[in-house]
């Protein structure tokens, strides 16, 4: 990988670099990367995790993307387990196994539904409900979200770097915590009413245990925790990766709007794959020159749209970014 020289004119427009942002947020713990598919989220997450581990932080690089790519990036299998990354002290990588989580969630839901059907004296098989509930495409995302939360709440690392799913999935993942809280509050209220009524009607005054209520109480606690973790600007930051191109910019613009609505801290924007002006020579093709002109136009747009939020500009390398040495190399540009 060559062509890693920082581009001086563009770099000077960065008011606060990624390095400066991290220095200004000493308690930063949960770092997320989002953006359109293919823009470089996974490589930026990887490079950031390597850099944080080298700053003496116990770090975990986590993929919450249903289509995992960390094992491919690192050249080692990190699926389903917190796996020490070869040649990087203090760094582990982990691709969340949704199959297990979904199976577990299905089982939990089955138990709850069975209990509820019995409680409501309805003689239907729980399985029908379980199937229709888990056919919902949001189910996998919800399972992923639960996993992510578990990881955050367990608090075993100094830093967490999340490689999130592209586009709308990440939004739903986050919106979920809000929707869940509302839903849980509603459910709890109606459960309380039902319970009171049942107790009033029953002859025995003994208070019955209510597993559904217990579950809801726990879930509500977890959601409150999730919201406080995700909305704390000292601990959490979302970074968006874009290219100097129309569509990725539009995606990031939309994302930032949503995140403001959810009260989730936006750490900034990383621009990836900028062709370096110092690579231009007399032999440079029109194709490359045209692309550079196009990129220059979009760089203007980026500075205007994301004013004060551009944290790093990464050159287009002549090879893909794979393996720890390439990530280290990238991390130097990212945290220059």
Ligand X SMILES: Nc1ncnc2c1ncn2[C@@H]1O[C@H](COP(=O)(O)OP(=O)(O)O)[C@@H](O)[C@H]1O
Q: Which parts of this chain interact with Mg ion (CB under 5 A)?
A: 41-42, 69
Q: How far is the CB of 83 from Mg ion (least distance, A)?
A: 18
Among 22, 43, 96, 130, binds ligand X (CB under 6 A): 43
Using CB under 6 A as the binding rule, whether residue 38 contacts ligand X is answered as yes
Using CB under 6 A as the binding rule, whether residue 37 contacts ligand X is answered as yes
Using CB under 6 A as the binding rule, whether residue 64 contacts ligand X is answered as no
Using CB under 6 A as the binding rule, whether residue 308 contacts ligand X is answered as no
Q: How far is the CB of 104 from ligand X (least distance, A)?
A: 27
Among 47, 269, 321, 324, binds ligand X (CB under 6 A): 321
Using CB under 6 A as the binding rule, whether residue 320 contacts ligand X is answered as yes
Which is nearer to ligand X, 172 or 322 (by Cβ)? 322
Using CB under 6 A as the binding rule, whether residue 160 contacts ligand X is answered as no
317 binds, among ligand X, Mg ion, none (CB under 5 to 8 A by kind): ligand X
SS (H, E, C) the chain: CCCCCCCHHHHCCCCCCHHHHHHHCCCCCEEEEECCCCCCHHHHHHHHHHHHHHCCCCEEEEECCCCCCHHHHHCCCCECCCEECCCCCCEEEEECCHHHHHHHHHHHHHHHHHHHHHHCCCCCCHHHHHHHHHHCCHHHHHHHHHHHHHHHHHCCCCEEEEECCCHHHHHHHHHHHHHHHHHHHHHHHHHHHHHHHHHHHCCCCCCCCCHHHHHHHHHHHHHHHHHHHHCCCCCEEEEEEECCCHHHHHHHHHHHHHHHHHCCCEEEEEEEEECCHHHCCCCCCHHHHHHHHHHHHHHHHHHHHCCCCEEEEEECCCCCCCCHHHHHHHHHHHCC
305 binds, among Mg ion, ligand X, none (CB under 5 to 8 A by kind): none
39 binds, among ligand X, Mg ion, none (CB under 5 to 8 A by kind): ligand X
Q: How far is the CB of 330 from ligand X (least distance, A)?
A: 7
Using CB under 6 A as the binding rule, whether residue 74 contacts ligand X is answered as no
- Chain residues binding ligand X by CB under 6 A are 35, 37-43, 69, 272-273, 314, 316-317, 320-322
């Amino acid at each position: 990988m060559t062509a890693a020289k920082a581009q001086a004119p563009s770099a000077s427009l960065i008011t606060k670099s990624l390095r400066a942002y991290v220095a200004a947020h000493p308690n930063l713990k949960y770092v997320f990367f989002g953006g359109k598919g293919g823009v470089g989220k996974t490589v930026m997450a990887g490079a950031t995790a390597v850099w944080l581990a080298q700053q003496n932080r116990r770090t975990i690089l986590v993929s919450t993307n249903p289509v995992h790519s960390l094992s491919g990036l690192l050249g080692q299998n990190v699926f389903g387990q917190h796996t020490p990354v070869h040649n990087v002290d203090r760094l582990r990588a982990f691709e969340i196994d949704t199959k297990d989580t979904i199976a577990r969630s299905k089982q939990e839901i089955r138990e709850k539904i069975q209990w509820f059907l019995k409680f409501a004296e309805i003689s239907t098989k729980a399985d029908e409900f379980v199937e229709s509930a888990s056919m919902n495409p949001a189910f996998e995302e919800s399972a992923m979200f639960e996993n992510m939360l578990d990881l955050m709440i367990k608090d075993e690392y100094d830093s967490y770097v999340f490689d999130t799913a592209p586009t709308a999935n990440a939004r739903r993942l986050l919106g979920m915590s809000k929707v869940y809280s509302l839903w849980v509050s509603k459910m709890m209220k109606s459960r309380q009413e039902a319970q009171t009524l049942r107790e009033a009607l029953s002859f025995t005054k003994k208070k019955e245990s209510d597993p559904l209520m217990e579950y809801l109480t726990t879930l509500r606690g977890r959601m409150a925790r999730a919201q406080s973790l995700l909305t704390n600007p000292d601990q959490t930051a979302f970074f968006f990766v874009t290219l100097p191109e129309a569509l990725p910019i539009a995606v990031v613009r939309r994302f930032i709007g949503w995140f403001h609505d959810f009260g989730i801290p936006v750490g900034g924007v990383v621009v990836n794959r900028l062709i370096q002006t110092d690579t231009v020579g007399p032999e440079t093709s029109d194709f490359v020159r045209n692309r550079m002109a196009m990129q220059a136009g979009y760089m203007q747009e980026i500075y205007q749209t994301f004013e004060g939020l551009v944290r790093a500009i990464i050159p287009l390398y002549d090879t893909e970014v794979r393996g720890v040495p390439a990530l280290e190399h990238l991390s130097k540009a990212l945290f220059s």
